[in-house]
Amino acid sequence: MEMHYYLGWFNNYFPENLAKSLQEDITDRKSIAMISSDPFSYEDDGSTERSWLNQAGIIFDEYYLINYRVQKEDAHKLIQNTSVIFLLGGDPLKQNHFLKEYELSGAIKESTAVVIGASAGAINMSAKWLCSPKLGFKVETSSVYDGIGLNDFSVLSHFDLENNFTLVQTELSPLSKEIDIYASNKDCAIRVKDDKIDILGNVHLISHSKIQKMKETL
C-alpha cells in the first residue's frame, strides 16, 4: 500500500485532522529518514518538520538526516530500511539536484515507507514541476524539472495562490495540458493512499488550463 503526503508549510503545527490522519497512517515508528533541501548546510536539520511530528505525538526511535555528509551508499540503505521518508522544505532546486546526484528517486519509489514532503519536498515528489521566476523561483528562465514521480501529477506547494490566482493559472497552463497540477498555499495537504486523493485546506486543481477549487475530504 502506497502512502504519500504532499504538505504546504505550517507556521504553527499540523491541524488536528491532519495529525490524526498521520497518526493512523504511520504505524511503524522505528525510524525516519529526512532528506535535506540544502544538503551542504548544517542548519537544514529538519528541526521544524520534526517539531510538527512531535506536536502530533508521532515520535520515532531513530532519526536520520540525509545530506552530503552521508555517503551515497549509506543514504540508499537508510531509504531502504526506514519507516518514513520526509523530504524537507527549503530550496527545491538544490534538493532536486541532490536527489539526482545521489540517485535517490528510484530508491524512494521502491520503498514501502510512508513518504512525506513539505513545500520544496512536496514539489520534488511530483512527476514534474515548473520552475519559473514568475512563481518566485530564483532563476532567470522557466524550466520543467522531473521530480521523483511518486504520483502522476505536479504540485505547486506553499504558494500565495489567493493573491496570484490569474498568474498561477496562466503560468501553469501549458504544463496543465500534459499533467494535472495541484496548487496549494500554507496549512494545506494532499494525501494519496493508493489511488485515493484526499485534500486538506485551500487546494486548487489545474487541468487542461482550467482551474477549480478542490473539496476538503481530510
CB contact at 8 A, 114 and 153: no
> Going from the N-terminus, what domains does the chain have, and what CATH number goes with each?
3-213 (3.40.50.880)
In sequence order, the 6+-apart residues with CB closer than 8 A to the CB of 42 are none
Q: Would you give the DSSP letter of residue 88?
A: P
Out of 15-24, 57-66, 155-164, which region has the weakest mean confidence (pLDDT)?
155-164
Give the pLDDT of residue 107: 97
What count of other Cβ atoms lies within 10 Å of the Cβ of residue 177?
11
- The answer, as to whether pTM is greater than 0.85, is yes
Task: Give CA–CA dist 62/218, Å, rounded.
Answer: 28
The mean pLDDT value for 172-183 works out to: 93
The mean pLDDT value for 51-59 works out to: 96
pLDDT, tens digit, 9 for 90 and up, residues 109-161: 999 999 999 999 999 999 999 998 888 888 889 999 999 999 999 999 877 76
